[in-house]
């Protein structure tokens, strides 16, 4: 029997098939591009807009939502090694919609200028972030600084160097300390330094298996990602691996490795510390180091959570930061009443 299908239905079906086919083809052959498109879509859903600012010839890339001047300070979020501003998307999702949020690509990462080693040391990154703060006028009012891992090291040293620019600071599993207990990652670094094993840098994967190993190292419960998604993640990273190695050598070098340890006694603004109890990259014993030096800091250790707090516990991280900001606002209000 011959089916008599109207031409309009055939046309509509053809129009539908084209984008579906394009999606499937992109997923199979260009998974890296598809992941970037996904982040673009997610930023758009969250109201984040990608912007650029300049300091001389140096370009900063950042995403932001809202405007400064609300009831709480602006938030500046610093990501970790080899990540991008988009690593904060899961956390931003749970922040109040009226909160002014700025997520910046760290020096050399993603859309921010790539220069040389002088900018990749912790002190170099601190100075570049300070330039960024000035370039967008964030220094006109004290803001809250959040940093994780490498970004936590930078945030801590920034707080020690430019305390008048900050209202408070949150350090999430920060690098830059002398940890009483070695993590799995630190143990592997020691082996690399001794040259006992011919291994790649654990945080700079070059194969799918190395990427899986990195995810297991960074997450208490690694996400179960399809192979095509893993391929996309790897495809986006591999072109930058030489840069990542250069940054890595700077931040583990003598001048940067213990930057936070050497400067933490200079932090005078209210400090919040968040750490995953099962962190295998930077051991949770670092939280006690900070609390010992700064007894008034607020420490929260998250059970069943590894190094990637923003990925594993985004809702909890957002709530902890928001509650901390509210507490500081109440404290500031009481001080003003007394004075």
The residues carrying an active-site annotation are 149, 279, 307
Q: Could you give phi then psi for residue 53, rounded to 5 degrees?
A: -135, 160
Distance of CA 128 to the CA centre of its chain: 16
Q: Which residues are CB-neighbours of 241 under 8 A, at least 6 positions away?
A: 204, 206
Distance, first Cα to last Cα, the chain: 91
Q: Which helix (H) or strand (E) holds 327?
A: helix 314-338
Task: Name the token pair of 265.
Answer: 């006694």
Distance of CA 264 to the CA centre of its chain: 21
Number of Cβ within a 10 Å radius of residue 57:
7
Q: Are 117 and 60 in contact (CB under 8 A)?
A: no
Distance CA 306, CA 151 (A): 16
Nearest to 54 by CA among 46, 62, 66: 62
Helix 227-237 vs helix 31-46: crossing angle, to nearest 10: 90
């Amino acid at each position: 029997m011959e089916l008599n299908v109207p031409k309009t239905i055939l046309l509509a079906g053809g129009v539908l098939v084209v984008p579906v086919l394009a999606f499937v083809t992109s997923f199979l052959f260009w998974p890296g591009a598809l992941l970037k498109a996904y982040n673009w879509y997610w930023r758009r859903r969250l109201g984040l807009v990608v912007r650029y600012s300049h300091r001389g010839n140096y370009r900063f890339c950042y995403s932001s939502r809202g405007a400064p001047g609300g009831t709480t300070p602006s938030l500046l979020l610093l990501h970790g090694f080899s990540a991008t501003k988009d690593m904060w998307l899961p956390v931003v999702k749970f922040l109040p919609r009226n909160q002014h949020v700025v997520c910046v690509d760290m020096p050399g990462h993603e859309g921010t200028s790539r220069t040389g080693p002088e900018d990749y040391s912790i002190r170099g990154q601190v100075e570049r972030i300070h330039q960024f703060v000035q370039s967008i006028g964030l220094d006109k009012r004290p803001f809250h600084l959040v940093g994780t891992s490498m970004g936590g090291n930078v945030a801590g040293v920034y707080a020690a160097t430019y305390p008048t620019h900050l209202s408070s600071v949150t350090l999430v599993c920060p690098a830059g300390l002398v940890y009483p207990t070695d993590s799995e990652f630190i143990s592997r670094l020691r082996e690399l330094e001794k040259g006992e094993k011919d291994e790649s840098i654990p945080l700079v994967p070059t194969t799918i298996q190395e990427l899986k190993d990195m995810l297991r190292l960074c997450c208490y419960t690694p996400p179960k990602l399809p192979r095509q998604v893993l391929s996309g993640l790897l495809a986006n990273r591999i072109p930058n691996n030489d840069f990542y190695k250069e940054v890595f050598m700077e931040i583990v070098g003598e001048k940067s490795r213990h930057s936070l340890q050497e400067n933490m006694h200079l932090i005078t603004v209210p400090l919040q510390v968040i750490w995953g109890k099962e962190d295998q990259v930077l051991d949770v014993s670092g939280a006690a180091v900070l609390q010992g030096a700064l007894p008034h800091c607020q420490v929260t250790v998250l059970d069943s959570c590894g190094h990637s707090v923003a990925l594993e516990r985004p809702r909890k991280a957002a709530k902890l930061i928001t509650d901390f900001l509210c507490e500081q606002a109440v404290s500031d209000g009481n001080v003003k009443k007394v004075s």
